[in-house]
Amino acid sequence: MQPSSSSSMAIQVVSISTIIIISIFFRKYFIKKTTTNQPGLPPGPTPLPFIGCTIQMLLNRPTFRWIHKLMDHFNTPILCIKLGPSTHVIAVSSPNLACEFLRKQDVVFSSRPETLSTYLVSDGYKTTILSPNGNQWKKMRTILIHDVLAPPMHKWLQPTRDDEANHLLSYIYNQIEKKDTLTDGGLVNIRNTSQHYFGNLIRMMIFGTRFFGAGMEDGGPGEEETEHVASVFIILKYLYAFSISDFFPWLRGKTDFEGHQKIIGTAIQRVRKYQDPLIDERIQMWKDGVRKLKEDVLDVLINHESPKLTDQEIKAQILELMLAAIDNSSNAIEWAMAEMINDPTILKRAVAELDKEVGHNRLVEERDLPQLNYIKACIKEAFRLHPFAPFNIPHVSMRNTTVAGYFIPKGSHVLLSRPGLGRNPNAWTNPMRFDPDRHVDAKGKQVVLSDNDLRMLSFSTGRRGCPGVALGSTITTMMLARMVQGFSWELPQNESGVNLVENHDDLALAKPLVVIAKPRLPHYLYPKTENDEEDDRRQSQESLIDR
């Protein structure tokens, strides 16, 4: 080895190290300088000027899977993606961080994004769920809380809910009987049955009628209800669909190259063509004095005083209530049934609970629900593991703020990941397992479907939290209880197990659940004709206090 080469090597080593040390020092100094004045954004892909990460988003549909992949890639429970020139989308998948947003800084994050689809659905933000923070949102939310969903109203509407719970049994029973195979059972499509159960229920509560048309003879939906419910689901699908114009607002209404605007516009029309004429007719009846008794939610909304609601407000709010009541509940029923049928020990325990708490001589009623902790735990487990939507409805920040050491600019869209919370291995042991027992308290404390600590997202929490917790919990639990008590459920003979695979584009079960039902109660207990029920309901409603 020559001395000269070794010394030049030493010089190289020294100079390289010096450069590294200096750059580290300056880097540190540089970063420190920026962080002391303003914390950085959460980690995420580097945005291009003006368009942000829009191209990547378009190349990676469905967007929710892309966002979850990025969170894995950056190994972070909070991610920032810039879309368009100015929108920061913040995705969150840990309960602690979720509480920072929706509990600690709830006030800051209590607005909603302004997008073309939400503008159209809410008819210019006349409603509650979709409206940004402001007086209109406050007004409509207050009316819903005090006059539609408050405990006295909940009680007032119980006969209506009971009626639908009876209708459910007779409808399934008729489907079996129709096939003349009572003992062999009949095939029941759980997706259709649950979607129409909640569709019927909300129509009954609002309009006092189950069917817009004549319905089917066996109690099933007619073509009007089929179109109505299908259109509600189309609206839900395109509501927060990461459309280009959500992030480039000046494109709104000018181009529609994804076709979202047309699809959602048509779906809104299809829902409204059944509802709006009924609303107009009813408003006229009150004006003419031919209707004097409040019998349903529509009557309550029409007669609301100070503030009085406009026809447009009533119509838009009713459309929004349809969206609120059908999706999450029907999806939970289908997944719960799928998981229970797939694991007969779970189904058996649910049946045993009903046999113990209610027995075989009468139908389960709403007053039994507090005792049905295992049934509720099954629903809660479906909410946890199989949410309908990948994200909570977006929350928008109303000013610049700092969360968990990160800068969150005003106008950011905060998306709480429902699978990120519910399937989070730090919050749940063995998270992918459907295990209702994890919600059952050994001391017998009542199971509730909400989770204010946001370890899962069922009804959310805070100023924007779901005001329909009581109603949503009651109707979902009641449907599962009736299904489990009223029938025994098994797979068709040619199938060995339920295929528990979710869709690629959303989180629904990929293939609608179709299973065999057999009656398991004495036959006289199954409610019979529609007409008898109709009479019962009228009688019980006539005896109600006029609110």
Cα dist. 164→11, 18, 287, 335 in Å? 87, 78, 30, 21
Q: Does 476 bind ligand HEM (CB under 6 A)?
A: yes
Rounded Cα gap, residues 498 and 39, in angstroms = 49
Only one of the segments 78-86, 120-128, 448-456, 488-496 lies at the binding site for ligand NAG (rule: CB under 6 A); that segment is 488-496
If DSSP codes are grouped into helix, strand and coil, which group holds residue 518? Answer: strand
Draw the binding track, 188-227, toward ligand NAG (x: CB under 6 A; -: no contact). -x-xx----------------------------x----x-
Window 443-462: contact mask with ligand HEM (x via CB under 6 A): --------------xxxx--
378 assigned ligand-binding residue: no
Cβ atoms of 114 and 132 within 8 Å: the answer is: yes
Q: Is 448 exposed, middle or buried (0-12, 13-18, 19+ CB in 10 A)?
A: middle
Token pair 């989180």: residue: 507
Query: Cβ closer to ligand NAG: 252 or 418?
Result: 418
CA 55, distance to chain mean position in Å, is 28
Burial (CB count <10 Å: 0-12, 13-18, 19+), residue 256 = middle
536 Cα distance to chain centroid: 33
Q: Kindly state whether residue 327 participates in binding ligand NAG, applying the rule CB under 6 A.
A: yes
Residue 346 binds which entry of ligand HEM, ligand NAG, none, CB below 5-8 Å type-dependent: none
Residues 6+ apart with CB under 8 A from 412: 80, 87, 88, 89, 90, 396, 397
Give Cα 192 to chain centroid, integer Å: 17
How many other CB atoms are found less than 10 A from the CB of residue 106? Answer: 17
The residues pairing with 436 across neighbouring beta strands, listed in sequence order, are none
Q: What's the rounded Cα separation, in Å, for the pair 229 and 224?
A: 9
- Candidates 85, 409, 431, 465; binder of ligand NAG (CB under 6 A) is 409
Given candidates 457, 483, 498, 517, which one binds ligand NAG under the rule CB under 6 A? 457
Shortest distance in whole angstroms from residue 240 CB to ligand NAG: 7
Question: What φ, ψ does residue 391 adopt, rounded to 5°?
Answer: -125, 155
Which residue, 122 or 541, has its beta carbon nearer to ligand NAG?
122
Residue with the shortest CB distance to ligand HEM: 468
Structure tokens at 196: 């129409």
Q: Does 330 bind ligand HEM (CB under 6 A)?
A: no
From ligand NAG, ligand HEM, none, interface partner of 540 (C-beta below 5 to 8 A by class): none
Does 471 bind ligand HEM (CB under 6 A)? Our answer is yes
In angstroms, give the least distance from the CB of 321 to ligand HEM: 5
Query: From ligand HEM, ligand NAG, none, which one binds at residue 465 (CB under 5 to 8 Å depending on kind)?
Result: ligand HEM
**Could you say which residues in the range 173-192 bind ligand NAG, by CB under 6 A?**
189, 191-192
Under rule CB under 6 A, residue 113 binds ligand HEM: no
Binding region: 466
Which residues contribute to the site for ligand NAG (CB under 6 A)?
A: 129, 189, 191-192, 221, 226, 324, 327-328, 388-389, 392-393, 400, 409-410, 418, 457, 466, 492, 494-495, 512
Binding residues for heme are 466
